[in-house]
Amino acid sequence: MTYCVAMSLHEGMLFASDSRTNAGVDNVSTFSKMTVFEVPEGPHQRCIVTVNAGNLATTQGVISQLRRQTVGEDSHILNLPSMFDVAELFGQTIKKAISHAEENQLSQSSVDFSCTFLVGGQIRDEAPRLFLIYPQGNFIEATSDTPYFQIGESKYGKPIIDRVVRPETSIGEALKSALVSFDSTMKSNLSVGLPIDVAILKRDHLKLSMRYRVTEEDAYFQGIRKAWGQGLRQVFQGLPQPEWFHN
């Protein structure tokens, strides 16, 4: 399991993903689930960021196929005219990858080959756009009413982001809420863990403004982890008992 979040804000876009691929008492490994496609200049200038959850072999296959298409093909992720077209290409590639894997699996195998992607970014002369792409190849787009998406083990971190993030929220505040949501998820689920990959794409910059990996040694993350836990306990202890409760 994994946990990824992407936010589309007035100021720009924020992406974050954990790096845990296996979990157990003696079996923990990491693999980045974030990929960046960039064209730094020219008529096809763009920056596209994707994070993924699901079967690792399938997600790797999708990314590899998209990269392979950029050599010698007429239309590909680096020259498509809009983010909607990019989302359609992702959907088609995901659907084909899953179908191919299922057709070639052993009859007795019960492997789940499905995967889900968050794909967002900005192409020159277009506004930033963010999409959630399902294993079936269909997708939905972030709006002002729903400015963020989560995939993977999302239920533990969702209430925190729901209370904080709006389209007008600053990227700094959004980043803080995302990291707190990761801490809450990791507290409740062993299958999500550090390091956390973070990428920030500011509106109209058409290139990453920041890419950072939060590790166990990161002082800021350890600080907010401790402060959040202490703050929750203090607020909880300050809540009154129900009037109808009799000890």
If we measure between CA atoms, which residue out of 47, 1, 65 comes closest to residue 28? 1
Supply the pLDDT for residue 10.
Answer: 98
Q: What pTM was computed for the model?
A: 0.93
Mean pLDDT of 54-83: 93
| CA distance readout (Å), 62 to 33, 99, 158, 194, 240 | 12, 12, 27, 24, 52
Domain spans of the chain, in order of start: 3-234
Lowest mean pLDDT among 21-30, 161-170, 234-243: 21-30
Mean pLDDT of 110-138: 96
Supply the pLDDT for residue 125.
Answer: 96
Instruction: Give the mean pLDDT of the chain.
Output: 93
CATH number of 3-234: 3.60.20.10
Supply the pLDDT for residue 28.
Answer: 56
| CA distance readout (Å), 209 to 64, 198, 199, 200, 202 | 25, 11, 8, 6, 6
Mean pLDDT of 153-170: 95
Amino acid at site 81 = P
Supply the pLDDT for residue 31.
Answer: 82
Mean pLDDT of 164-189: 96
pLDDT class for 118, splitting at 50, 70, 90? very high
Task: Give the three-class secondary structure for 6.
Answer: strand
Most distant CA atoms of the chain, gap in Å = 75
**Contact indicator for 16, 182 with CB cutoff of 8 Å:** yes
Supply the pLDDT for residue 24.
Answer: 52
Supply the pLDDT for residue 102.
Answer: 87
Supply the pLDDT for residue 105.
Answer: 77
Q: Is the pLDDT confidence value at 124 over 80? A: yes
Percent of residues, the chain, with pLDDT higher than 70: 95
Supply the pLDDT for residue 22.
Answer: 62
Tens digit of each residue's pLDDT (9 = 90 or more) over 191-240: 898 999 999 999 999 999 999 999 999 999 999 999 999 999 999 999 99
Mean pLDDT of 107-133: 91
Q: Is the pLDDT confidence value at 107 over 60? A: no
Distance of alpha carbon 81 from alpha carbon 68, whole angstroms:
19
